[in-house]
Amino acid sequence: MTRRASKVFLAVAFLCACGDSSGPSEPQPGILTVQLTTNATTDRAALIQLSGPGPISSVQSDNAGVMVFSTETGTAVKTIVTGTLTSGALLQFNVEDVNKVKAYNATIVELANNTNALQTNLSGRSLRITK
């Protein structure tokens, strides 16, 4: 096969691969999990902002030692967690399409330690959303 012929073959193969006749995938409702990564040991409460392309509902704790306060459903939801905040699963919430997990975002707005003092330096903590 010549060099030119192989290019043509690859192009055809690519086009064929794109030609999925089933169309876009159907929305898959389900639960997403907020994972906390932290190197701190004294974090006890946090105000977390959740946002995404679709409604977020039924925010719950995914950590036995954490209590959750949440606002109503919507595309932007504020949540308060209190307890000993350690690395691992922290929250769960329902979405209409878990396939859009990459479009959802979790941000720490406020963080307090075991003396209730606000932490201005949030380095060492991060949130990640997984299916």
Residues that bind other proteins (CB under 8 A): 44-47, 58-62, 64-71, 78, 80, 82-84, 92, 110-118
In this complex, which beta carbon is closest to other proteins, that of residue 99 or of residue 126? 126
With respect to other proteins, which residue has the nearer C-beta, 52 or 63?
A: 63
In whole angstroms, the minimum distance from the beta carbon of 53 to other proteins comes to 20
Q: What is the C-alpha to C-alpha distance for residues 70 and 47, in angstroms, rounded to an integer?
A: 10
DSSP string, the chain: --HHHHHHHHHHHHHHHH--TT-SPPP--EEEEEEEEE--S-EEEEEEEEEEEEEEEEEEE-STTEEEEE--SEEEEEEEEEE---SEEEEEEEES-GGGGGG-EEEEEEEEETT-PBPS--TTEEEEEE-
Tell me how far, at minimum, the Cβ of 2 lies from other proteins, in Å.
Answer: 59
Q: How far is the CB of 3 from other proteins (least distance, A)?
A: 57
Which CB atom, from 86 or from 99, has the smaller least distance to other proteins? Answer: 86
Min CB(112)–other proteins separation in Å:
3
Tell me whether strands 88-95 and 105-113 are parallel, antiparallel or unpaired: unpaired
> Closer CB to other proteins, residue 99 or residue 113?
113
